Amino acid sequence: MIFTPAAPQGEAIKSILNNPDVSIVPDFWRNVPIEPGKTNREELIASVQASSVEFVSRLARMGINRRVKARISYESASGSGGESVGATIEPNFITTMLVPDSPGSKFAFVGVTSFDSNKALKINLNISDPASESGASRIVVPEFRLSARESMMLPVRLPLTEVRGEIVYATAELIAREIANGRIRMRLYSQASAEVALILPHAPQGAITIDGVAAISSYNPANKLLRITIPDRIKIQGKPDQAGDRREHEHDIEIVYEKGLPELSIKNSRLIIAEENQVQVEVANRTMSLLKGILSLQIEQGLKHANSNRDVELKPQEVRLVTFSLPISEKAVSGDSINLKAVLSTDDNQTTYRSPKVSLEILPRFDWELYPVSSWPLRPDTKQKINPPLIYPKDDQAKEAEVNLKLVNNSEETITLSRSSMLVSSLPVKLGKDEQYMNTFIYGFPAGTRSALHPFSISVSDGRRTETANVNFVALRKGEAIAFSCDIDRDGFDDYVMENEHLRLIISPRAGARSFALINKRTGANLFTSAGGLRDKFVELDPADPTRNARRKRGMYGTFNRPYAAEILDGMGKQAVIKLSYQAPDAYPAGVNIERTVTLKAGEEFFTMDYRIKIPSPEAADGIQALWSSNSIVAGDPAFSPAEFITAAGHFDFKTATSRSVDAASGLIVSRLDNQNSFAIIWRSEQMKTAEIEMKEFSSFVNLKFKPFIDGLNSYRLVYYCGNRTFDEIRAQSSKIIGR
């Protein structure tokens, strides 16, 4: 702990000041400019760097040695080291050292983080040895590569207690480690080549592999140091990854450390809800001696721990299955898991043998799933499942729709399943262990239906447990538009969906009537972000609000979290219409009533939004207050090509942390996201005061500020386009689309 420029005063602090780990750096004080809105990033970084370098130099002169010293350099395009950053301060890099509070613990974890968005870093670490009493001894970690915007936690002096060894260091993040059946297993993460150094009492008696491939390693008997090199993943994987649960850039190291030991393994693959599960542990005595002791099944679920014990005695070379009973409550959650490990302690208590830990999934007797899977693009790289699923017709006239029900037997025994729906009951089907069955249900839409959403359910039972599979059939005909309510994002509140054959718009009334999805159905792309489009704000905030930070003033973010009332005015036909309304009494100066009517016509690639803003009194029309429509779009997201904005004045490319004004009289902004997706907003020029594109890190806001309110009712119109047309094609139709 370091105090500067002086130690705090008071009785409570006196006991701390005598601690040898507490230092005082006198007369050190530097001003760092951090005034919001005035200090730019470069000025702040330069000031912090200069102060930090001076501070570190002062510590060195006082004999205070840092626990972690880092020298880093940027990696150039060719892969060789770039400019030297030095051994002190780099604004895009941070390192920390975590040590245990418990006395006697002599290990640590060193965290390294790169905030640079573009370049990889080459890092050299010099670390204070956590096992050194004086702290004078240090560990030099070989150079390693840290990818852009990457973070890792590196182990230092981490014990391997069963073999009386330790991980001295690793230039990859340690995900898991385990010693079982004479093998040392480690899972590590690194996007580049890395090195692991271990101290082991003797050399491994068998092979060392990384992801199943022979590893490059060396063991020095003099210092008992084993070094293992992890090459780049692409160099050691000659075929598609067969890693199972291993994520990208993770590596499994296995060291066959000792041979001929007793081996333990758990044979089960799952546990069944509401059953007395029989867990089988295989014990193999690989020795030539009698093996006698207590076999314990260790059960771990969250913070709950339990043991079940059995006395065992095995002859030399004997293999035996030992069974433990493990009941699972009927209230257990499907998909949860329980960790199991078998431990054999010999009668003399001198030796302990362990099985690998297994994580067994908790499952019901049978599972079901509906196909096709229904989802919506939450982000360009993430889809969220819709439950109950939305199933669309097979034909243009919405006569029939089809859903498939897959059944899976998770039980150890054969089960018989009966299935019934609102329309028909099916013959029972028998399924053996792990057997699957697919059943198809065909739904016929009522002739001439005027309802867009048709709920449907299927009941499945095995005699002990009954499940209901729900599905919503959507009656979308070609040449029509529909609107319906459904909890798409599964937040417990209904969303409102509007769609035709070209686009789908999802509005969340309880979240400020924002839209988190404007989907081009031809490409599947969602052009809105999770910040949302169709955001309602106001240009003027209460000047009497004492909050100093402008970003924290009341009303700064508009009605983004307010519950709007929603009503479907027209749910099916040549157009779909939804009305959204909200009374905002806190809008400065006297409150407003907001009403939005959203219209989607059949066969069109755009929808219109008509505002009716009513102010309660003439005093509310102060000549300043006005409506502000804000829309967060995916322009700038790396999943798309470099975004381009086109206006009447020309075009410009997306540039992070930049804002560009657009001529309000032009009435049009187009964002060309890639060669298949275009987004546009059209407005009436006589209604608009300012238009702006605010480019963020990975997205952009289109901000439209209307002219100030006048007394009484204020009406505005916006048109949102989602398709593949060019700027010239959209502009040619804009007057017709906006409805002048």
- Whichever domain contains 177, its CATH number is 2.102.20.10
Q: Does residue 557 share a domain with residue 496? A: yes
Q: Does residue 523 share a domain with residue 432? A: no
Query: Which range of residues forms the domain containing residue 435?
Result: 366-474
Query: Across residues 528-539, what is the average pLDDT?
Result: 97
pLDDT at 88 over 60: no
- Per-residue model confidence (pLDDT) at position 82: 45
Query: Across residues 507-512, what is the average pLDDT?
Result: 98
Which of 300-304, 557-561, 709-713 is the least confident region?
A: 709-713
Q: How confident is the model at residue 244 (pLDDT cuts 50, 70, 90)?
A: low
Report pLDDT digits (tens) over 480-491.
Answer: 999 999 999 999
Q: Does residue 526 share a domain with residue 652? A: yes
Q: What are phi and psi of 162, to 5 degrees?
A: -65, -30
Beta strands in 347-450 (DSSP E): 352-354, 358-363, 366-371, 375-379, 382-385, 390-391, 400-409, 415-421, 425-431, 436-444
Quick check: 225 and 219 in contact, CB under 8 A?
yes
Which of 59-68, 305-314, 730-739 is the least confident region?
A: 59-68
Domain contains 407: yes
**Contacts with 135 (C-beta within 8 Å, 6 or more apart), sequence order:** 65, 67, 128, 129
Distance CA 31, CA 733 (A): 57
Query: What's the CATH code of the domain at 607?
Result: 2.70.98.10
Q: How confident is the model at residue 15 (pLDDT cuts 50, 70, 90)?
A: confident
Report pLDDT digits (tens) over 377-429.
Answer: 999 999 999 999 999 999 999 999 999 999 999 999 999 999 888 767 788 99
Q: Does residue 300 share a domain with residue 179? A: no
Q: Does residue 345 share a domain with residue 208? A: no
Domain contains 84: no
Query: What's the CATH code of the domain at 277?
Result: 2.60.40.10
Q: What's the pTM? A: 0.77
Domain contains 217: yes
Q: Quickly count helices (H) and strands (E) in the chain.
A: 4, 57
Query: Across residues 238-264, what is the average pLDDT?
Result: 82
Quick check: 624 and 708 in contact, CB under 8 A?
yes
Quick check: 657 and 697 in contact, CB under 8 A?
yes
State yes or no: cis peptide before 5, omega within 30 of 0. yes
SS3 track for 133-192: CCCCCEEEEEEEEECCCCEEEEEEEEEEHHHCEEEEEECCEEEEEEEECCEEEEEEECCC
Q: Does residue 716 share a domain with residue 614? A: yes
**Structure tokens given for 403:** 């859903």
- Per-residue model confidence (pLDDT) at position 162: 67
Query: Across residues 631-635, what is the average pLDDT?
Result: 98
Query: Across residues 70-96, what is the average pLDDT?
Result: 66
- Per-residue model confidence (pLDDT) at position 240: 42
CA-nearest of 279, 368, 276 to 330 is: 276
Domains: count for the chain: 5
Query: Across residues 623-642, what is the average pLDDT?
Result: 94
**Structure tokens given for 173:** 């993040």
Report pLDDT digits (tens) over 579-590.
Answer: 999 999 989 998
Query: Across residues 89-96, what is the average pLDDT?
Result: 80
Quick check: 115 and 92 in contact, CB under 8 A?
yes
Q: Does residue 377 share a domain with residue 349? A: no
Q: How confident is the model at residue 711 (pLDDT cuts 50, 70, 90)?
A: confident
pLDDT at 243 over 70: no
CA-nearest of 358, 330, 185 to 268 is: 358
34 or 191, greater pLDDT: 191
Q: Does residue 152 share a domain with residue 50? A: no
pLDDT at 233 over 70: no
Domain stop point among 193, 225, 256 = 256
Q: Does residue 517 share a domain with residue 417? A: no
- Tell me how crowded residue 454 is: count the other CB atoms within 10 A of its CB: 19
Q: What are phi and psi of 7, to 5 degrees?
A: -75, 145
- Per-residue model confidence (pLDDT) at position 500: 97
Mean pLDDT of the chain: 91
% of the chain surpassing 70 pLDDT: 93
CA-nearest of 298, 409, 427 to 352 is: 298
712 or 477, greater pLDDT: 477
CA-nearest of 283, 274, 276, 270 to 311 is: 283
Query: Across residues 696-710, what is the average pLDDT?
Result: 96
**Structure tokens given for 315:** 């002859």
Domain contains 73: no
Which of 75-89, 223-237, 428-442, 566-580 is the least confident region?
A: 75-89
pLDDT at 740 over 70: no
Query: Across residues 353-381, what is the average pLDDT?
Result: 95
Angle at 50 between CA 45 and CA 51, to 5 degrees: 100
Domain contains 83: no
Domain contains 121: yes
Which of 18-27, 67-76, 468-477, 558-567 is the least confident region?
A: 18-27
Domain contains 53: yes
Q: Which amino acid is at 207?
A: A
Give me the DSSP letters along 525-587: EE-B-TT-BSEEEES---TT---SSGGGSTTTTTTTT---EEEEEE-EESEEEEEEEEEETTS
Q: Does residue 389 share a domain with residue 316? A: no
**Contacts with 313 (C-beta within 8 Å, 6 or more apart), sequence order:** 290, 291, 292
Which of 38-52, 273-287, 375-389 is the least confident region?
A: 38-52
Q: How confident is the model at residue 184 (pLDDT cuts 50, 70, 90)?
A: very high
Distance CA 703, CA 700 (A): 9
Tell me which H or E stretch contains 61.
helix 41-61
Domain stop point among 222, 256, 290 = 256
**Structure tokens given for 44:** 């702040």
508 or 51, greater pLDDT: 508
- Per-residue model confidence (pLDDT) at position 238: 43
In eight-state DSSP terms, residue 290 is: -
- Per-residue model confidence (pLDDT) at position 338: 98
- Per-residue model confidence (pLDDT) at position 616: 86
Distance CA 390, CA 471 (A): 7
Report pLDDT digits (tens) over 100-144.
Answer: 988 778 899 999 999 888 899 999 999 999 988 776 799 999 999
Distance CA 218, CA 220 (A): 7
**Contacts with 736 (C-beta within 8 Å, 6 or more apart), sequence order:** none
pLDDT at 266 over 70: yes
Which of 89-93, 169-173, 374-378, 666-670 is the least confident region?
A: 89-93
Q: How confident is the model at residue 86 (pLDDT cuts 50, 70, 90)?
A: very low
Q: Does residue 567 share a domain with residue 705? A: yes
Query: Across residues 703-723, what is the average pLDDT?
Result: 95
- Per-residue model confidence (pLDDT) at position 534: 98
Q: Does residue 454 share a domain with residue 431? A: yes
**Contacts with 38 (C-beta within 8 Å, 6 or more apart), sequence order:** none
Query: Across residues 722-734, what is the average pLDDT?
Result: 96
CA-nearest of 285, 253, 307 to 351 is: 285
- Per-residue model confidence (pLDDT) at position 552: 83
Query: Across residues 530-548, what is the average pLDDT?
Result: 92
Domain stop point among 14, 46, 64 = 64
Burial class of residue 625 in the structure, from the number of CB atoms within 10 Å of its CB (0-12 exposed, 13-18 middle, 19+ buried): buried
Query: Across residues 150-158, what is the average pLDDT?
Result: 96
User: What are 669's strand-pairing partners?
Assistant: 681
Q: How confident is the model at residue 42 (pLDDT cuts 50, 70, 90)?
A: confident
Domain contains 695: yes
pLDDT at 87 over 50: no
- Per-residue model confidence (pLDDT) at position 692: 98
% of the chain surpassing 90 pLDDT: 74
